[in-house]
A and B are shown apart, each in its own frame.
Chain A
Amino acid sequence: MSRRASIRIAAALAIALAAPACGPWLYAASTAPPGAIADLDTKHAQAYLTVGAVMAFECQDGGPCRHATARSDDDGIAEILPAALARLEPHWIAGQQPAAAFVLIGHAPGKTTVRVRSKDGDVDLRVTVLPATGVAAR
């Protein structure tokens, strides 16, 4: 095997290994209410939510994730619903696509996973619903 071919194979392997680390990515699309938490860590696919708080997020992978769906492992802890943003966004290969948005609702303290599936790939969002604090706890 030539040196050039070896380099090509190594590069292909590197790309293949790196591929799972690529998108889709989940981005927060709303802010937390005062006194509560509603954070989404895009890089680590983690969300923290105060019980009772609601957070919107979008699935992106070079544009809106196509044909995106989501479900929660435990609706009693965190419920996930599709959201309508009535907006189109450019996708890197598919042209204008509807925004792939969801709304996460914190129902009870605990941990669960929201599984987002799309034509552009999948991502599992680890969700922690925190007990209410301060005025939200009363």
Chain B
Amino acid sequence: MFKECSPADAGCRRAAPAAPLAVGSRLRPDVQVDVAGSVMPVIALASSRPEVVDVVDGAMIARAPGMAAVVIATPDGTVIDFQHLWVADADRLVVERPSPLGGGAEEIVGPLELVAGESVLLSSTLLGGAQRLAGDGGATWTATACDGCGEVVALLQDGVAGRRRVVARAPGTARVTVTASGVTATVDVAVVP
């Protein structure tokens, strides 16, 4: 997104969602504008359709499915740029872990087996059909252990939204459940001695 600035335009370099936003998600765009002869001016964002995408404290909030535009303007209302974006319902959530080879994440498709004391970093991604959706859906993470097992795994926050470090505490089995934007995914974890 924002890759189509004409050389004759204000020379924008903008970071924004590369996919539709998931309903209920939030995304704070990194807006940077290069104007010849000027440093980046003070800017404000506004939505053409707040019922679809609202702008609150500089962050975009996806309210309902549809299309809207976010306008980048100076405080006096002079438009520097605008970008159309879409909001879609999420129908699936996948749990992933960063690829050890870098350059993306791998979907967790089966149970995880960890040695006690080991940990793994997991993240969640919302999908609408075959498409990944952007935005932080405010995922909630819970872990439930097998009956009488005590704490099998711990879920630690690492400071990044939608991501948790799963730490294997003691032998047993547990189920990690992730919920965001109304959809849920589970991952079974087995901890071996």
A-B contacts besides A132-B66, A135-B66, 13 pairs, CB < 8 Å: A33-B67, A50-B67, A51-B49, A52-B67, A54-B48, A54-B69, A83-B80, A84-B35, A84-B78, A86-B9, A103-B79, A105-B48, A135-B65
Residue of A with least CB distance to B10: A86
A85 touches B8 (CB 8 A): yes
Give chain B's interface residue range (CB within 8 Å of chain A): 20 to 34
Q: Report the Cα distance A86→B11, complex, angstroms.
A: 9
Give chain A's interface residue range (CB within 8 Å of chain B): 20 to 34
Supposing A52-B49, A84-B35 touch, asked if A132 and B67 sit within 8 A by C-beta, the answer is yes
B35 touches A135 (CB 8 A): no
A5 to chain B, nearest CB (A): 49
Q: Report the Cα distance A21→B15, complex, angstroms.
A: 44
A54 touches B35 (CB 8 A): no
- B105 close to A (CB within 8 Å): no
- A106 close to B (CB within 8 Å): yes
**Contacting A36 at CB < 8 Å: which of B9, B67, B73, B82?**
B67
Q: Report the Cα distance A36→B66, complex, angstroms.
A: 11
**Contacting A53 at CB < 8 Å: which of B10, B48, B80?**
B48
- B68 close to A (CB within 8 Å): yes
B4 to chain A, nearest CB (A): 9
**Contacting A82 at CB < 8 Å: which of B8, B35, B79?**
B79
